[in-house]
């Protein structure tokens, strides 16, 4: 059973990634909880406080994901990562990274640093997974692993954005093409 505070983080996350940080207000959350908007300020005094908690939530989620994926081989792990983005796309959200990047100049330094740390964390995981997969000859790619990781991440990140514009099918094609090119 999620606490009110946890529910607010989940709703805030959904709003940030569906509407954008600047487009949502505390009223959007308070209406869903049948309280006044000021009640949200009790749990998260300022909007940046909530954004902060949302980034923490994603850090925890990603750690749970990598933990869960760690029992599989590297090709499967990359596949799981891309499928995770497919579920983001289907739910009409963007990934945190792309969402915060768009509103980057509205974010204070503390959140920027937290998002940077999260992004480097994700990039490191992809990079290491690609490297191990290449060693085991499960994966193939020409660029240095970190650059390949950035290309995959930007494909996924902007893939969910492009899908809003040109349709869900385009995301699927990008995803399948990546898998086809790197999995032996």
Residue from 7, 19, 80, 131 touching its own copies (CB under 8 A): that is 19
Q: Is residue 150 near its own copies by the rule CB under 8 A?
A: yes
Q: Which is nearer to DNA, 23 or 147 (CB)?
A: 23
What span, in angstroms and rounded, lies between the C-alpha atoms of 180 and 184?
Answer: 8
C-alpha distances out from residue 142 to 75, 130, 134, 139, 181, Å: 16, 11, 10, 10, 11
- On the CB side of 164, CA atoms within 13 Å amount to 14
- On the CB side of 50, CA atoms within 13 Å amount to 26
Stretch that binds its own copies, among 59-67, 76-84, 96-104, 130-138 (CB under 8 A): 96-104
Interface positions with DNA (CB under 7 A): 4, 24-28, 30, 35-39, 41-43, 45-48
Task: Provide the residue count of the chain.
Answer: 184
Residue from 23, 50, 52, 53 touching its own copies (CB under 8 A): that is 23
Q: Is residue 80 near its own copies by the rule CB under 8 A?
A: no
Mark residues 50-69: x for contact with its own copies by CB under 8 A, - for none.
--------------------
C-alpha distances out from residue 95 to 4, 19, 112, Å: 24, 12, 15
| Burial class of residue 2, CB neighbours in 10 A (0-12, 13-18, 19+) | exposed
Q: Is residue 120 near its own copies by the rule CB under 8 A?
A: yes
Q: Which is nearer to DNA, 27 or 90 (CB)?
A: 27
Q: For residues 43 and 31, is the Cβ–Cβ distance under 8 A?
A: no
Q: Is residue 32 near its own copies by the rule CB under 8 A?
A: no
Kindly give the residue spans of alpha helices, DSSP state H, lying in 19-93: 26-33, 37-43, 47-69, 74-90
Q: Is residue 115 near its own copies by the rule CB under 8 A?
A: yes
Question: Which residues of the chain form contacts with its own copies (CB under 8 A)?
Answer: 18-20, 22-23, 94, 97-106, 112, 115-116, 119-120, 123, 142-143, 147-148, 150-151, 153-155, 157-159, 161-162, 164-166, 170, 173-174, 177-178, 180-181
């Amino acid at each position: 059973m999620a606490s009110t505070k946890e529910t607010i983080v989940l709703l805030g996350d959904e709003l940030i990634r569906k509407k954008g940080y600047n487009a949502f207000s505390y009223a959007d959350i308070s209406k869903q909880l049948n309280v006044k908007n000021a009640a949200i300020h009790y749990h998260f005094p300022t909007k940046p406080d909530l954004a902060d908690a949302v980034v923490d939530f994603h850090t925890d989620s990603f750690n749970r994901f990598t933990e869960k994926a760690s029992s599989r081989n590297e090709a499967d792990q990359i596949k799981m990562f891309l499928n995770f983005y497919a579920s983001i796309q289907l739910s009409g959200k963007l990934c945190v990274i792309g969402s915060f990047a768009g509103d980057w100049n509205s974010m204070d330094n503390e959140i920027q640093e937290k998002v940077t740390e999260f992004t480097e964390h994700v990039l490191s995981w992809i990079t290491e997974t690609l490297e191990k997969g290449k060693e085991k000859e499960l994966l193939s790619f020409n660029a240095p692993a970190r650059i390949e990781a950035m290309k995959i991440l930007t494909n996924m990140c902007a893939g969910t954005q492009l899908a809003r514009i040109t349709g869900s099918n385009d995301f699927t094609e990008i995803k399948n093409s990546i898998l086809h090119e790197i999995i032996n």
